[in-house]
Amino acid sequence: MSDVSVERAASIQPVEPMAGESRFVRGCLRLPVDRTPVWFLRQAGRYMPEYMAVRKHHSLLEICRTPEIAAEVTITAAERLGVDAAIIFADLLLPFTPMGLDFEFVAGEGPVVHTPVRSLEQVQALRTDRTDELNYVARAIEKVATHFAAPRPDGDALGIIGFCGAPWTLAGYMIEGGKQSGGDRNYIETKKLMYSNKAAWSLLMEKIVTVLVAYATQQIEAGADVIQVFDSWVGKLSVADYTQYCLGWTTELVQRIKAMGVPVIYFGVETASLLPAMGATGADVIGLDWRVPLDVGWKAVGPGCAVQGNLDPIALFAPEDVLKAKVHEVLTAAGGRPGHIFNLGHGIVPGTPVENVIRVVEWVKEFGAQ
Ligand code: CP3
């Protein structure tokens, strides 16, 4: 862990979040709830015909950058599924543009950064002063918050989730540059820079944290109840490397968001061995992937954290009885303890039957009493 980052993280004074009104926020704070809150990673995406209808006329970035459309996509998914929270429709890579990094989404290949960041000079050239340009995400959140201002028929307010990437995962996209999706890579260039160029790595982490704190601030001011930090590819790191090179920066990001009075969910994939270190960031909730049994994962992050997860997204392709048994398995492992938010272990994939996603919501509502 970098000394600078430890000192900076230690100097932040956390503010106790207000006990939230909604079932979802109460779950994040490990407060008792009437039943387990539920939402899904990638709940607005290509598996959903309503999203594909919008996508036919607009690129992914157009949807993200047009508050009316981003809000509509966010609202439609949450209402169609009947979930307890809506995650704003945006993408992890949006902050790259004001930082001065061009990227695009190439069909079938995922994001591609045209000039990957590989040297101290390139890190020095990254801008941190143009985060206002990301304001379209905050405008979309305002629209979603206005839409969901009134309580739902069951009296509960819908939670609104803003999000950003974590330093490691964003650095990975900046340095590797594409072309495969993140999980397939070995992160050779990223680790080369991390191991060999301390000045470049520290400056890059610091710049990413600066931009993300400003971006999260905009989202919170616009009405986000909770911020989720996605560290999707953190599982590529050993515990020792995560602790030495990333934990301090991630802790700083988490603590500075928490200091604004909202709970933070910190999520990664293939994290079984990293969970105690992830819990050390002080995040309110740790997102678990499906590989670790929920009770084992919860024990690893420690009793001071809530957990989110962790059904295998591919279980949504299973026959009804198998899927139902797997939903029960997750709920049983949670044991009705306050602080479990039902979700998948990673995002819904294209081709997933929408009716199975809705079935899962209904089962959680039926059996997820606490
Ligand atoms: O409903 C929601 O979950 C909100 C929307 C959302 C998107 N991206 C829209 C999107 C969210 C939360 C993200 C975050 C994101 N983006 C992550 C973290 C989440 C995770 O899965 O771990 C990551 C790693 C990215 C970067 C990214 N964006 C990749 C790797 C891809 C390609 C994925 C693929 O399967 O092709 C994207 C594109 C993207 N972002 C899509 C959506 C709905 C699919 C492409 C499309 O609609 O054209």
The pLDDT tens digits of the residues spanning 222-273 come to 999 999 999 999 999 999 999 999 999 999 999 999 999 999 999 999 999 9
Question: How deeply is 316 buried, as exposed, middle or buried, from its count of CB atoms within 10 A (0-12, 13-18, 19+)?
Answer: buried
Which residue ranges have their beta carbon within 6 Å of ligand 1? 41-46, 55, 60, 77, 87, 89, 91-93, 105, 110-111, 163, 181-182, 230, 232, 347
State the pLDDT at residue 108: 79
C-alpha torsion angle, residues 56, 61, 67, 72 (rounded to 10): 30
State the pLDDT at residue 343: 98
pTM for the model stands at 0.94
Ligand 1 centroid from CA 339, angstroms: 26
Which residue has its alpha carbon closest to ligand 1 atom 9?
Answer: 91
Question: Which residue out of 92, 163, 174, 219 has the highest number of ligand 1 atoms within 8 Å of its CB and is therefore the one to mutate?
Answer: 92
State the pLDDT at residue 181: 61
Residue among 264, 134, 248 at smallest CA distance from 198: 248
360/347 Cα distance (integer angstroms):
14
Segments of the chain with pLDDT less than 70: 1-20, 180-183, 370
CB 204 within 8 A of CB 122: no
Question: Which residue out of 40, 41, 42 has the highest number of ligand 1 atoms within 8 Å of its CB and is therefore the one to mutate?
Answer: 42
State the pLDDT at residue 109: 80
State the pLDDT at residue 1: 43
